[in-house]
Structure 1
Amino acid sequence: MLIAGGVLADYWSAEPEGVVLGYVGRDACIECHRQQTEDFTGSDHDKAMDLATDETVLGDFNDVTFEHDGLVNRLFRDGKRFMVHTEGEDGTMQDFEVKYVFGVYPLQQYMVEFDRSEEMESCDVARLQVLRISWDSHNHNWFYLRPPDVADKLAADDPLHWTGIAQRWQTMCADCHSTNLKRNFDPESVTYHTTFSEIDVSCEACHGPASLHVELANKKSLFWDRRYGYGLAKLKGSDPEPQLQTCAPCHSRRGVMNERFTAGPDYHDHYRLETLGQATYHGDGQIKDEVYVYGSFIQSKMYHKDIRCTDCHDPHSLKLKFSGNETCTNCHQHAAGKYDVPAHHHHAPGTEGAMCVNCHMPHTTYMEVDPRRDHSLRIPRPDLSVKLGTPNACSHCHVKDRLPQIAAEHRDTFQSKEYSQWLLAAEQDGEQPIGTDGETLAELMRQTDQWCDDACEQWYGEQRKRPTHFAEALVPLRRGDPSAARKAIEMLAINDERVPAIAKATLLEELARQGVRAVPRVAAELADQTDQHPLVRSTAASVLAMAGPSTGKSSLMKLLGDDSRLVRTSAARALLGSPAFGQLSPSERTQLESVLNEVHEEFMVASDRAGAHMGWAGICEQLGRYGEAIEAYQTAIRVEPNAVGARTNLASLLEQLAPSVPESERETLLKRVNTLRKQELPLLARDAALAPQIAGIQYRYGLLLYLDGQLDAALSQLEKAVELEPDNPEFQTAVKLLKEKMDGSQ
């Protein structure tokens, strides 16, 4: 009895609530987890980042030269240091020390540290810039990582230049390549004091801070803790979401709402997942740009059947658990020989067409050297390609069957291109005749889609499956088909893999963009359904900005108290832009501003970007907090002096406030307004030249030219905007009014 009581007391004892967990490092894990450590060593996570040493650097630094865009770069050693002679921030050729290596395959990239002061702690990392000169680990040669759609040499002051903000480690890369990263950017001094507990993606990046786990493991107890279990995130239970959402932050295209995420099922309280945008996904949800897997996988039937990452991938080595088709047939056995046979795939065994992944996970190559597979794990649908123009895995291989029909002068170009490049070429210039009989590329690709569809019809006949697909609403909706809105609304009522959450959110966004009158009602219904995915309810909240004051206020005020941070912050933003905002009582304003504190935190995650401070300044303007807005605009200018927008917005605000300023101060204030606009002109001129096809930028440049008194140049610029978007009434009105003004002044 005494023993039983002791055992019970041992079990019942527990760590107190609110234990603060800390990071202990992988060395604390090795003794008990030797096999996992062995598997992890040498993995992509292990090599996500490291100091530049003889052991970690793969590139050839033996005093070699590498040319791109007319620059002759030199890669050499200075004692133990790895050096690059290349173009610096001021446009001159200089020597830079490579301090860190970044990744390993298919490219290894190299990083240079800037702005390091003597006062910084040794553990702090100053601003790191990622060189575009990279080592191709597959072909063993130097490689210039050119930005997408940029063929010309980058100017030294271009944000895409290796010294620009788009190539900054802290801004673009850091939180997914190190463990327990703290960016620690100071907007006042415009400096970083970044820290991490481990330089790469180590144990605690996936399992969470392990201090309690180590403490419990070392206790002389028969049990783990009844309150905290193992003291780590529970990733192996029956619910796959904790594991999936642990992987998702680094394997998704998303914004960050706050930086306190640790392993577990709270992804949507920390991240804002991108929906199926036209620049990143095709109309049926297949990958177009690099979207890092998660947004694809949650579309899949596998996801809806509770499959998780570790069903296919070893969690520590990251390698596939099985080779070839066995990765799939390990689960998809069913009747013997049902899938991995010609009767299923209709291709000769051992050929590319007989590989499961080539039909169900076709690849797209990014950065010229990095093929990534689509994780939506879909059945090929050439019928949708014929109907909607979406891609399909059959055409992925068979599009090159059209090469004999392409004129000889174009044939070599397309011989070397993969399917994604054919798609891009057809999108950009697909109506130019290139066929031997005058066919366009788009026509040739449609012939391939039809051939593939006919083959599927012959194979399967009446047994062929054509399940409802959200693309049947989304693609026509984007094309302006008036009947598509009703179909899209009908699809929003489907709650299975035919219309996954990310597709629902996208349909809602598109309906709102089209101005469909029924959308606020539909959005209010979806937002009120607590069993809907947070992504759907968040998008519904955003759409409610379109609702009338009564519906908008009642729905959005309710959502301000939602359990999901994603939902309530979207509701707060929507309420600011809603007609209901002006009807809020003082107590309701207080409730809104409480949630706006979370919105502010979300903006400040990117406090090293001007856009973050501009976004918050805009909110402060709406709230009438003009002093705070002015301060935020000034911070935006300080953080990114070469970014457009902040000076124009600040000038407009100061001009608006001028009548309320004492007359003795007004002239000084208006001089400042004029100075700000003149400082903005060359920046906006630069952007207008870099983006000649973006109407909004041409329009903004035209307005600024007008405010500067350059009427002829302003008219020319505004007419460019109208030419690019002839149906935009705002652009047309601006041109009309300016012409009237110019005619009246003559």
Structure 2
Amino acid sequence: MAPDTNRDGVLSADHRVNGILSRGFRLLVPPLAALIIVGGLGAQAVGQTLDAPAYVGSETCAECHAGQMEAWSDSHHGLAWTLPGEDTVLADFDDTEFADHGVMARFRREATRYLASVTETDGVTRDYEVHSVVGVEPLQQYLFETEPGRLQSFDIVWDTEKKTWFHLYPDQDLPPDDGLHWTGPYKNWNGRCAECHATGYEKKYDPKTRIYASTQAEIGVGCEACHGPGEAHLAWTEGREPEANSVPLDPFGFTMAFDGGNTEAEIQQCAGCHSLREAYGDGNPLPGTPYHDAYNLSLLTPNAYHADGQILGEVYVYGSFLQSKMYERGVGCMNCHDPHTTELKAEGNAVCTQCHSPAGNSEFPTLKLATYDSPEHHFHPDGSPGTECKSCHMTERTYMGNDLRADHSFRIPRPDLSAFTGAPDACTGCHQDQSADWAAERIAEWYPNSTKRNFHYGLTLARGRENPAAARDALIALAEATDVPAIARATALGLLQPVADPELAARFEPLLSNESALIRTEALELQRAAPPRDRVLRVINLLDDPATSVRFAAARQMLDAPVAQFPRDVEVKLAAAMKEWQASLTTRADYPETQLAIAGTALVTRNFPAAVAAFREAVTLDPQLVDAWVMLVRIPAALGDIDAARSALDEALAVNPDDPRLQAFAAELEAEQP
């Protein structure tokens, strides 16, 4: 997933991992255990191809595409990641200071070098040189190379509008040895951020040495980050045959075609970075790679979304957009956004009225032709914020301290749902002195015959979050509904997993062939509750599913399959899926949460040494990861090695002295002492 500064959020991002941990070492030995060699694969990263065309750099494009280059060069894409210099560093490095929560930073220049002296809460002062610069507005962040090859994003950033320094996380008071400290794994640039700020990026992390040897064709989001490597296109411009490779190319030599009228492919290309997701590969997938071959999209989970699907955490657009009627009707990113300037195609309400007007838009014939930019629709005084379409239909939240991000679900305000879902509403976001009931009454007065105030899936998801057993029937109905977004249906399937039984697994077998990879993946997870033979027969058909996400889910289901031998063709598919999944895990070995997944896999296969090694790596990366410490105590205790359990517990308490679970373990072990 994209970076998250909340450790609980990181751990809960994959409920499957937590499920594996809770079952622990009590699982039976699977006959397929021999197919899993945790941590031992060096396979090629998902989504990357060794014989693809080469990258040539954005400057190569300028000669023929001067207009596009001029538009791009000052855009948020062009300035997503730059080297420090007079034209790129916007902050005041003229001996300025910032102090917060016992941390002091002094910023200065020495000739062409930009430096910061940082005094941490432990009283130690270290000097860092700015390695590179991130972003351009409304804030700018600076990267320090804390070890050779390791880039970390500093938490003290520059407000480009107020011209002042501020702390991204003012409520955090973290010592340098905390995993959430800016020098820790969750703020690492190489693993968490760089792939969306660079072109042709490869992370190249060595889990044995914990060293990064990252490379990229170009820092910043260049031309080839979206269109694909340019070597074959250059050959096309010169009338030459491109070098032989196995990657499909469009008629112009690109891996991603933007002139083919394939709006869905274009959306998925943007979504690779503009989504909250877990990447499967070691860096950028080739542009044009289908989304679900490269990423695992976050569903409408509590840390990311409100129960009705409104944005809560920083979810980067795609999961919101998938909920919208606009997506359903074929609207794409570039209907509203210029891909080179990254700005809207029109100012204010004009970007909406290019379609939502009496004239409509011939590309979208289902549009109701009506006047929307008028008091008869918005019922607000001219010149007030309420006249802006986005105020009601794209509410904004602030992230990273000062950056407003708009909700792209383009929802109709539903203050009548707030009492049931606990989610905010657009009306009282502005009218803060009023209640949601007041807002609901106003809307009912304005639109007395509206059909837009009927059932909303947020009601079911809210109930399912609170008590999936009590909401079982409603969640089933939502998962089977065909008139709601696939991401909401998949979320309902996810909420049903803790209460799944054989009957439910059988009921959702038809969804294993659903056109949505999200739904197929979650329906697969429900098969865990099926009788072993039925589960295997249903899962094996998806081991070679077109979508990587589905193949990985199928591979996980087969870990403890009670089958001694499969037909040869099934063995081949199973081995391929297992190998691909494990290769993906190893590319994220620098993630503490990935180490939990690796450890869970080892527990399922009863490979206790591998499980202990992975849990140990998790706490090495993040010493405050109590879930991993708990297992480092439980495993040796269950195996009768009480001395090892006590030793692990002492280590855990040394860095987490106040944790109640660890204290409870200490009391138990003390009571058992002869």
TM-score interval for Structure 1 and Structure 2 normalised by the shorter chain:
0.7 to 0.9
User: Does 1:255 pair with 2:289?
Assistant: no
Report what 2:498 is aligned to: 513
Shift of 1:370: 0.9
Maintained 8 Å contact 1:76/1:83:
yes
Deviations 1:500-550 (A, max 9, x none): 111111111112234477531233221133x2x001100111121122223
Distance 2:292 2:318 in 1: 13
Report what 1:30 is aligned to: 62
User: Does 1:316 pair with 2:340?
Assistant: yes
Maintained 8 Å contact 1:66/1:73:
yes
Match of 2:88 among 43, 56, 59: 56
Shift of 1:88: 5.1
Q: Summarize the Cα distance change of 1:584–1:473 in structure 2 as closer, same or farther, 3 Å threshold.
A: farther
Q: Summarize the Cα distance change of 1:286–1:648 in structure 2 as closer, same or farther, 3 Å threshold.
A: closer
Report what 1:732 is aligned to: none
Letter in 2 for 1:21: P
Maintained 8 Å contact 2:615/2:629:
yes
Maintained 8 Å contact 1:485/1:516:
no
Structure 1: which 5+ runs fail to align?
1-16, 117-125, 403-447, 659-668, 689-697, 712-740
Report what 2:207 is aligned to: 187
Shift of 1:331: 1.2
Letter in 2 for 1:245: Q
Report what 2:453 is aligned to: 466
Report what 2:31 is aligned to: none
Shift of 1:19: 6.1
Q: Summarize the Cα distance change of 1:557–1:167 in structure 2 as closer, same or farther, 3 Å threshold.
A: same
Paired residues for 1:8-19 under 5 Å: none
Shift of 1:683: 3.2
SS at 2:87's partner residue? coil
Letter in 2 for 1:30: A
Match of 2:372 among 318, 334, 339: 339
- The structure carrying a bigger helix percent of its residues is 1
Maintained 8 Å contact 1:108/1:135:
yes
Match of 2:524 among 541, 563, 570: 541
Report what 2:418 is aligned to: 385
Report what 1:175 is aligned to: 195
Maintained 8 Å contact 2:199/2:219:
yes
User: Does 1:558 pair with 2:541?
Assistant: yes
SS at 1:573's partner residue? helix
Distance 1:395 1:670 in 2: 57
Q: Summarize the Cα distance change of 1:611–1:289 in structure 2 as closer, same or farther, 3 Å threshold.
A: closer
Maintained 8 Å contact 2:168/2:400:
yes
Shift of 1:337: 6.2
Q: Summarize the Cα distance change of 1:134–1:574 in structure 2 as closer, same or farther, 3 Å threshold.
A: same
Deviations 1:73-92 (A, max 9, x none): 21111232111111259650
Q: Summarize the Cα distance change of 1:91–1:70 in structure 2 as closer, same or farther, 3 Å threshold.
A: closer
Distance 2:262 2:74 in 1: 30
Deviations 1:349-373 (A, max 9, x none): 2221111111110111123311111
Q: Summarize the Cα distance change of 1:42–1:486 in structure 2 as closer, same or farther, 3 Å threshold.
A: same
Match of 1:246 among 257, 265, 269: 269
SS at 1:250's partner residue? coil
Q: Summarize the Cα distance change of 1:294–1:468 in structure 2 as closer, same or farther, 3 Å threshold.
A: same
Q: Summarize the Cα distance change of 1:184–1:265 in structure 2 as closer, same or farther, 3 Å threshold.
A: closer
Maintained 8 Å contact 1:90/1:157:
no
Distance 1:650 1:541 in 2: 30
Maintained 8 Å contact 2:102/2:120:
no
Letter in 2 for 1:394: C
Q: Summarize the Cα distance change of 1:518–1:138 in structure 2 as closer, same or farther, 3 Å threshold.
A: farther
Letter in 1 for 2:186: A
Moved more, 388-397 or 34-43: 388-397
Q: Summarize the Cα distance change of 1:455–1:23 in structure 2 as closer, same or farther, 3 Å threshold.
A: same
Report what 2:125 is aligned to: 93
Shift of 1:674: 4.5
Q: Summarize the Cα distance change of 1:247–1:55 in structure 2 as closer, same or farther, 3 Å threshold.
A: same
Report what 1:604 is aligned to: 586
Maintained 8 Å contact 2:615/2:632:
yes
Work out the number of aligned pairs and report it: 608
Distance 1:629 1:271 in 2: 25
Report what 1:207 is aligned to: 227
Q: Summarize the Cα distance change of 1:73–1:617 in structure 2 as closer, same or farther, 3 Å threshold.
A: closer
Match of 2:485 among 480, 496, 500: 500
Shift of 1:206: 0.6
User: Does 1:526 pair with 2:511?
Assistant: yes
Structure showing greater radius of gyration is 1
Shift of 1:618: 3.0
Letter in 2 for 1:544: Q
Report what 2:305 is aligned to: 281
Maintained 8 Å contact 2:505/2:529:
yes
Deviations 1:178-231 (A, max 9, x none): 11111111111111111111011101111111111111111179xxx9974111
User: Does 1:353 pair with 2:389?
Assistant: no
Letter in 2 for 1:61: F
Moved more, 368-377 or 341-350: 341-350
The normalised TM-score by structure 1 is 0.76
Q: Summarize the Cα distance change of 1:58–1:573 in structure 2 as closer, same or farther, 3 Å threshold.
A: same
Q: Summarize the Cα distance change of 1:575–1:467 in structure 2 as closer, same or farther, 3 Å threshold.
A: farther
Distance 2:615 2:456 in 1: 45
Distance 2:375 2:351 in 1: 18
Maintained 8 Å contact 1:156/1:163:
yes
Shift of 1:63: 0.9
Report what 1:710 is aligned to: 670
Q: Summarize the Cα distance change of 1:337–1:275 in structure 2 as closer, same or farther, 3 Å threshold.
A: closer
Q: Summarize the Cα distance change of 1:634–1:357 in structure 2 as closer, same or farther, 3 Å threshold.
A: closer
Q: Summarize the Cα distance change of 1:397–1:648 in structure 2 as closer, same or farther, 3 Å threshold.
A: closer
SS at 2:352's partner residue? helix
Distance 1:478 1:130 in 2: 34
Q: Summarize the Cα distance change of 1:599–1:706 in structure 2 as closer, same or farther, 3 Å threshold.
A: farther
Report what 1:613 is aligned to: 595
SS at 2:540's partner residue? helix
Q: Summarize the Cα distance change of 1:71–1:656 in structure 2 as closer, same or farther, 3 Å threshold.
A: closer
Deviations 1:138-162 (A, max 9, x none): 1111111116xxx252212122222
Distance 1:710 1:91 in 2: 36
Q: Summarize the Cα distance change of 1:337–1:504 in structure 2 as closer, same or farther, 3 Å threshold.
A: closer
User: Does 1:236 pair with 2:236?
Assistant: no
Report what 1:418 is aligned to: none
Letter in 2 for 1:452: A
Distance 1:511 1:634 in 2: 32
Shift of 1:487: 2.6
SS at 1:99's partner residue? strand
Letter in 1 for 2:521: S
SS at 2:107's partner residue? strand
Match of 1:69 among 73, 96, 101: 101
- Two-structure CA RMSD over aligned residues (Å): 2.8
Distance 2:114 2:309 in 1: 43
Report what 2:218 is aligned to: 198
Distance 2:175 2:396 in 1: 33
Shift of 1:265: 5.1
Report what 2:21 is aligned to: none
Distance 1:647 1:381 in 2: 44
Letter in 1 for 2:534: T
Distance 1:527 1:381 in 2: 33
Distance 2:70 2:63 in 1: 11
Report what 2:407 is aligned to: 374
User: Does 1:454 pair with 2:450?
Assistant: no
Maintained 8 Å contact 1:134/1:142:
yes
Q: Summarize the Cα distance change of 1:682–1:226 in structure 2 as closer, same or farther, 3 Å threshold.
A: closer
Deviations 1:226-283 (A, max 9, x none): 9741111112323211111111111100001223612225110110000001121111
Maintained 8 Å contact 1:187/1:635:
no
Maintained 8 Å contact 1:235/1:264:
no
Report what 1:622 is aligned to: 604
SS at 2:219's partner residue? coil
Report what 1:683 is aligned to: 655
Report what 1:153 is aligned to: 173
Maintained 8 Å contact 1:613/1:635:
yes
Maintained 8 Å contact 2:184/2:622:
no
Report what 2:162 is aligned to: 139
Shift of 1:109: 0.7
